[in-house]
Chains A and B, each alone.
Chain A
């Protein structure tokens, strides 16, 4: 187990290094720099600015400096914000995005699994069509449309929730709903198909034939196996949802990191672009590792590190 984890950690570090290097090369290959603007900033002021942010140095030096800071866990300073360094920006924004993401994720997984089970059990009947109808709407309606509808209905017409900004749980309701719908639909469809698969397996028939209660067979045996594909998608989904959504954060004026990272690209805020890549990759790698470990729990037949987990 420990050697497995160590091997994974080393592999993750190598992956991270490749991602950082690629991001570094790509972002410098894009034309324009943080100070390219249609404002008439004089060449002298521009040179001063470039020197101030160390952009006058050769790329190799900038790259080495960034890596040097990164090993000391310092993400550096953003060019677009003099106010806070990037560590602080992430410390401020990540909890906001993560909280919202977790809310949405809980909603998506619980409601999605429930919907999937209902659909599978009522296979090819009304409930199935209804649940899958909801799922198709969820997948095809973009979150910004749903967000706009929610604002119009709940904030402008009924005036029960605030339009936007951040502060209390009431501010989280609409963004979490808007954020949850697509993954909810995805999870529902996934659970339905894998559940249908499991229900037709011999072990289910055998268990039912032996007189085990139907609810216990479905929830205790079939569902457990049917959740395996859900666990697979949960890794990237969690990483994605925790790092925030630009669209939702923009519409609801939420101070999360999704907005920060997306805008960093059009701003050519080099340190912030790299930090976005680092944060997202670290989360993604961690989540994938977690998912791989969960496989062993969900299905004891799956072995990692050549040995059973339990």
Chain B
């Protein structure tokens, strides 16, 4: 017995020793004066800017790399690696002058050739870049990516000289300069990439050109970004380092924040409402529309009046204020709040297209729709929903609202998220809550998915007038006229046809150490920490 007890004790001691031997300095100790501690909820799948497909990893890439442009606090494009630029009269050719002081973290200069290399690399079909479409505005880029053109020199990307880059588009894109600040189009160092194709997987081999460089990366645990001494504007970077932890459980992250182990986090859903009410959490609009998808090819949603009835019967104020409580903004149109039209904020320009929770009108429209369909009453319907919390909550809320207002029996079929998305993509659904977000700050980005032949038209909406308006907007160079075309298109899509039933603009809810200042947050792009600092 004594012997076995000694053995147990020995094993415990050995374990403790091993653990301590492999342990890094603990988190949560007294941080350096300018060390920001943030949470990205999990190990990023990659830090190769061209391979990232999500906002959390994109936020890290944005601090490590710098594109041709950056965004200012209001979301306007300002010089990044490009010091200045000119745009041709037809809006298709951009000429960028790169700053000669831009350097990679290993000291190499950042050149026009680096951008040519990086864009060609991302556009190579074999490379498998998920958000490669953002570069498809460049002449011949889509064809090269699809293998229809094999010579990369045929694409509209050219280094005129070491510090001059020319980009030719196949169609004018008024948002192109903002798009160049997006993480997926940031450059990589060609020399480093050719010598070691896996350079981006460890801190020791990581080379970047942004305000910060990767100093430490312990997988699944922590990343430390420190100020990049080679960054051209290093003097304006005030943070010494950013510590990035990977805590998936938001309750845990929130407890870490309350005990001083973390500076910023998204609060868990169950606390969001209270924290916003107590002004302890900040709310930022995110350019993502939550909506109810109607399958326009399946009865009774083939009928516009039935779709309108279902849409008007929904109480968006109730859903956002009482059920979700995350500061979401009810929508009376499709394009979310905060998204640009190219000549202003789209939602403000386009106005409201219907009334929320208009029960009386909803019942009238339903009767009218049923008459048009030759139905005496609505059949029982099945609504498919993802098992993600926000979707199940929405599904239950609209189910109750439809039952109350329209006396319709809707059964909810909850599915595992990917299985649900796969079903919607197969158009194997009748009605389903869904969401869609913008990749770049322009309403056009979200309108394309309702064009009849568009791959993402899972709603199976088809209206020749809508298609015409969108095609006209795609090539219109005058910002005012282009806005007008998009507003008209939204009127057709929602005001006239109610192809889908918009719900609300999503939000990003953040709890933050009040001493942290000057973080730039955007409805579309990732947070920017370049100018952030911590008050003493």
Residues of A within 8 A of B (CB): 30-33, 35-45, 48-49, 51-53, 80-84, 89, 92-93, 95, 99, 102-103, 106, 110, 148, 151-152, 155-156, 159, 162-172, 219, 250-253, 255, 259, 266, 268
Contacts and interface: CB of A to CB of B under 8 A. Distances in A.
Nearest to B439: A40
Nearest to B260: A159
Interface stretch (B15-23, B113-121, B405-413, B514-522): B15-23
Nearest to B448: A40
Given A83-B219, A169-B19, A170-B26, A36 B418 contact: yes
B20 A168 contact: yes
B146 interface: yes
A165 B245 contact: yes
Given A82-B48, A83-B46, A99 B15 contact: yes
B69 interface: no
A41 B131 contact: yes
B431 to A, nearest CB: 16
B248 A259 contact: yes
A99 B18 contact: yes
Nearest to A152: B255
B420 to A, nearest CB: 8
B311 to A, nearest CB: 20
B433 to A, nearest CB: 11
10 contacts: A45-B145, A49-B128, A81-B45, A82-B51, A83-B47, A163-B256, A163-B259, A167-B27, A250-B248, A266-B418
Given A40-B133, A99-B18, A164-B256, 16 more contacts: A30-B416, A36-B418, A39-B130, A39-B437, A41-B133, A45-B131, A48-B128, A51-B125, A53-B128, A81-B43, A92-B220, A103-B12, A165-B256, A250-B249, A253-B248, A255-B221
Contact of B128 (A52, A99, A250, A255): A52
Given A32-B418, A169-B16, A266-B416, A163 B255 contact: yes
B247 interface: yes
Among A42, A51, A172, the most chain B Cβ lie within 10 Å of the Cβ of A42
B128 to A, nearest CB: 3
Contacts, number: 180
A162 B222 CA distance: 15
Contacts of A83: 43-47, 200-201, 219
Interface string B216-235: 00111110000000000000
Nearest to A103: B15
B132 interface: yes
Contacts of A169: 16, 19-20
Interface residues of B, number: 73
B276 interface: no
A92 B252 contact: no
Interface string B252-274: 11011011010000000000000
B418 A44 contact: no
A251 B253 CA distance: 9
Counting from the closest, the 9 A-B pairs by CB-CB distance are A32-B418, A255-B220, A52-B128, A82-B46, A253-B247, A32-B422, A31-B419, A167-B26, A163-B255
B368 interface: no
B434 interface: yes
Given A168-B19, A172-B19, A44 B261 contact: no
B261 A42 contact: no
Given A31-B423, A44-B146, A99-B19, A167 B249 contact: no
Nearest to A250: B249
Interface string B16-47: 10111011111110000000000000011111
B208 to A, nearest CB: 15
Among B48, B252, B417, the most chain A Cβ lie within 10 Å of the Cβ of B252
B27 A39 contact: no
A37 B421 contact: yes
Contacts of A155: 255, 259
Contacts of A92: 219-220
Interface in B414-461: 416-419, 421-423, 425, 434-437, 439, 449, 455-456
B46 A42 contact: no
B271 to A, nearest CB: 13
Contacts of A162: 26-28, 261
B275 to A, nearest CB: 16
Contacts of A43: 455
Contacts of A106: 8, 11-12
B66 interface: no
B201 A84 contact: yes
Contacts of B15: 99, 102-103
B421 A36 contact: yes
B324 to A, nearest CB: 18
Among B25, B28, B245, the most chain A Cβ lie within 10 Å of the Cβ of B28
Contacts of B19: 99, 168-169, 172
B261 A82 contact: no
Nearest to B25: A167
A237 to B, nearest CB: 17
Given A41-B130, A83-B46, A165-B27, A48 B145 contact: yes
B526 interface: no
A30 B46 contact: no
A195 to B, nearest CB: 16
Contacts of B126: 48, 51-52
Contact of A51 (B128, B220, B248): B128
Nearest to B128: A52
Contacts of A172: 19
Contacts of B46: 81-83
Contacts of B247: 164-165, 253
